[in-house]
Structure 1
Amino acid sequence: MRLRQPMPEITGAAEWLNGEVTREQLVGEKPTLIHFWSISCHLCKVAMPSVNELRDQYKDNLNVMAVHMPRSENDMNMEEIKQVATEHSISQPIFVDHNHILTDAFENQYVPAYYLFDHNGLLRHFQAGGSGLKMLEKRVNRVLEEMEKEE
């Protein structure tokens, strides 16, 4: 995905964990962070506390959604996905993308990967890899500040 592209439709999940959300629910009132992860991804697990911190710190001003992107057959074990989600306190909605429908819509190739959309549903920041979550937080703040100026 390129910057300023609109958020794809959030459809085609093999299963949802922690509730289900639609694009319509994510666009309009506040920015949205969508992060891709996988149970076989060590960096994803290392980064998860930082993602959860962002989620909790900005809970009133930011939508957060997770996408579980399997990297192999072994990553499609629902019990293990649920277990890892619980172990790593992933309480936000999780789109389980066994068929890579959302992965393909985002043209995503990486885990972890982070997509930040503004409240209008336009992509404002993308990054991949386990480091650089401070940069992600700066981008969240910038998008929130821009939103305040609009009001």
Structure 2
Amino acid sequence: MNLKFFGMIISVFIIAFMVIMTVKTNFVGKDKSAEFEEYPSGLIKDQANKLDNEGLEYEIGSEESNIAPDFELRSLSGEMIKLSDYKGKKVFLNFWASWCPPCRVEMPHMENYYQKYKDSADVEMIAVNMTTDERNVENVEKFVDSLGLSFPVLLDAEGEIKDLYDFDYYPTTYLINADGIIVKKFSYAVDEKKIEELIANIE
């Protein structure tokens, strides 16, 4: 056996090995249980990116055109609520604190909108209180009771959701479409008329 022929055999073996490894990498099933990691807070790490109907990929994040990060929090009434529970609906996601003057101005307008459309519009209003910035939960309860708020009020007791959404001012609101994509983010109070306009323009 001459060296040239021996070299050809070695080359064939190398190519065959590379083909086998490529096929194995592409087609052997992965352990799906490792793709998601639930935390006690309900935060989901490494959520899969999403493809829309046109094949466009959206990244998870807190900016416009991102997939809104999922979370789970306890409400004032004691119910555990996940953002993903409202998939298929438009969501007005508001972050606030009871000592924030613009929040007090805005909340009655949010309540008015909620009462007007909660049974007829495919939309949900969620207010996440930044509980780590409050003196106590009792202040939150008094605030909610004083304004007669009936939409879901969630408590970010550990501050993890604030870190997840990465904002600096109160109130900050995220408008999320039925596919879970953030279509608008703003950090100022709005009145009922503006809320109607903003939600009507969610696509």
TM-score range, shorter chain: 0.7 to 0.9
Compute the displacement of 1:110 (Å): 1.5
Query: d(CA) in 2 for partners of 1:81 and 1:64?
Result: 17
Over 3 Å counting, the alpha-carbon distance change for 1:52 and 1:122 in structure 2 is same
- Tell me if structure 2 keeps the 8 A contact 1:26–1:32: yes
Unpaired segments ≥5 residues, structure 1? 147-151
> Residue 136 of structure 2: which of 77, 84, 87 is its match?
77
TM-score (norm 1): 0.81
Q: Which has the larger radius of gyration?
A: 2
Query: d(CA) in 1 for partners of 2:81 and 2:198?
Result: 23
Percent of paired sites with the same residue: 22
- Tell me if structure 2 keeps the 8 A contact 1:33–1:65: yes
TM-score (norm 2): 0.62
Over 3 Å counting, the alpha-carbon distance change for 1:66 and 1:131 in structure 2 is closer
Partner of 2:101: 42
What value does the CA root-mean-square deviation take over the aligned residues? 1.9
> Residue 118 of structure 2: which of 47, 59, 73 is its match?
59
Unpaired segments ≥5 residues, structure 2? 1-61
Query: How many pairs does the alignment contain?
Result: 139
* Cα deviation digits, residues 100-132 of structure 1 (max 9, x gap): 111111112211111110011100111112246
- Tell me if structure 2 keeps the 8 A contact 1:3–1:123: yes
Partner of 1:25: 85
Higher normalized contact order (CA 8 Å, seq sep 6+, divided by chain length): 1
Query: d(CA) in 1 for partners of 2:100 and 2:189?
Result: 10
